[in-house]
Amino acid sequence: MAGAALIWFAVDARARWAALAGGVCLALHALVPLAGTAGGREAVHGLLNDLLPVFVAPALVLWLAWPSPMFAKERHHVEIADPAASGRF
C-alpha cells in the first residue's frame, strides 16, 4: 500500500496524503518489533536485524512525502511575481 501510494505521489502531487498515510501505516507497524523486544518476546539482536527494512523504510517514506514549507514559499513567490495572478496586466 505504501509503495503504491508513493509511486502515485511521484506521478501526481495530489496523492501526498495517500503517501503520508502509507508512511504512517509503516511507522505504526514498526512499533510491533519494539513491543516484542520491550515485552521480552524478542531478543535485541532480532530488533537490530529489523533496523533497515522495518525502521528506515517508514522514515524514508515520511521524509519523501512530508510537505516542505520551502516549496510552498517558492510557489507563493512565483504567484506574487506573476502579473496575471496578482491582477496587474
The pLDDT of residue 22 is 93
pLDDT tens column, 53-65: 899 999 999 999 9
Q: Does the model's pTM come out above 0.95? A: no
Residues 6+ apart with CB under 8 A from 22: 1, 2, 3, 4, 5, 6, 61, 65
* Closest CA relative to residue 67, chosen from 13, 24, 6: 13
The pLDDT of residue 47 is 86
Q: What is the distance of C-alpha 65 from the center of its chain?
A: 4
How many angstroms separate the CA atoms of 55 and 49, rounded? 10
Kindly list the domain boundaries of the chain, sorted by start residue: 2-86
